[in-house]
């Protein structure tokens, strides 16, 4: 199996878990998407600019961040979609609400927004796919807000590894600290204290 075939197979397994596709629908979809690779540090979506694609992450991890203070506001990794919230920003002409930066060399399947509209309007269950992607983004944002307001920093830090596999080995500490709303120094102290408490609990 070639790399391209494997990537598309992975993508359609993701779609198949949301909606069933007929053979013709799958062929149409396949002709309208493409694979792109980006290097670590590249910006794939720019805040305030309309994005013409929905990015499905086959490999890699990205961060969402805001221009004025470089504040990291979210992450995305394998098996997730990336939009910068542009596809839902009707009031501002579909401009992205955030920047999106690759934190590793990344491989994406790119779905043109026009293709997604075509799928929603012409595929038997296409509207269900559109709703699922929008609702999933909303629920992820709700989780971020609830966690930020209701959980201590160290618990949120530990939860990250559940949501994003091996994130603590893949992402720089200062990006994680920014997302958690603290400094790298303070986060390091919290981690040391947490590790000490865990060691005492096992004695």
Q: Are residues 124 and 35 in the same domain?
A: yes
Phi, psi of 108, deg, nearest 5: -125, 155
Q: Are residues 81 and 168 in the same domain?
A: no
Structural domain that includes position 86? 3-150
Q: Are residues 87 and 176 in the same domain?
A: no
In this structure, the number of other CB atoms found within 10 A of the CB of residue 193 comes to 11
**Number of domains observed in the structure of the chain:** 2
Q: Are residues 117 and 20 in the same domain?
A: yes
Predicted local distance difference test score (pLDDT) of residue 107: 98
pLDDT at 103 over 70: yes
Where b means 16+ CB within 10 Å and e means fewer, 17-43 reads eebebeeebbebbeeebeeeebeeeee
pLDDT at 8 over 60: yes
- Angle of the 184-202 helix axis to the 153-163 helix axis, nearest 10: 90
**Rounded Cα distance, 133 and 130, in Å:** 5
For 60-181, strand residue ranges (E) read 62-66, 71-76, 81-82, 99-102, 106-112
Q: Are residues 159 and 145 in the same domain?
A: no
Residue 130 forms beta bridges with which residues?
A: none
Burial of 185 (C-beta count, 10 Å sphere; 0-12/13-18/19+): exposed
Predicted local distance difference test score (pLDDT) of residue 85: 77
Q: Are residues 174 and 88 in the same domain?
A: no
- Model confidence at 114, in pLDDT bands (50, 70, 90)? very high
What's the token pair of residue 134? 């929008």
pLDDT in tens, 44-97: 999 999 889 999 999 999 999 998 889 999 999 999 999 987 776 666 677 888
């Amino acid at each position: 199996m070639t790399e391209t075939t494997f990537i598309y197979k992975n993508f359609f397994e993701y779609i198949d878990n949301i909606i069933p596709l007929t053979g013709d629908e799958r062929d149409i979809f396949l002709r309208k998407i493409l694979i792109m690779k980006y290097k670590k540090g590249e910006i794939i979506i720019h805040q305030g600019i309309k994005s013409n694609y929905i990015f499905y992450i086959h490999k890699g991890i990205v961060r969402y961040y805001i221009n004025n203070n470089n504040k990291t506001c979210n992450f995305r990794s394998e098996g997730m979609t990336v939009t910068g919230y542009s596809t839902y920003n009707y009031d501002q002409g579909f401009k992205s609400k955030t920047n999106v930066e690759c934190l590793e060399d990344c491989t994406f399947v790119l779905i043109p927004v026009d293709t997604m509209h075509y799928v929603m309007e012409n595929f038997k269950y296409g509207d269900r796919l559109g709703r699922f992607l929008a609702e999933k983004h909303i629920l992820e944002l709700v989780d971020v807000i609830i966690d930020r307001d209701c959980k201590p920093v160290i618990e949120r830090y530990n939860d990250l590894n559940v949501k994003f596999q091996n994130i603590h080995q893949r992402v720089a500490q200062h990006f994680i600290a920014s997302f958690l709303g603290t400094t790298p120094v303070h986060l390091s102290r919290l981690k040391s204290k947490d590790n000490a408490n865990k060691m005492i609990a096992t004695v």
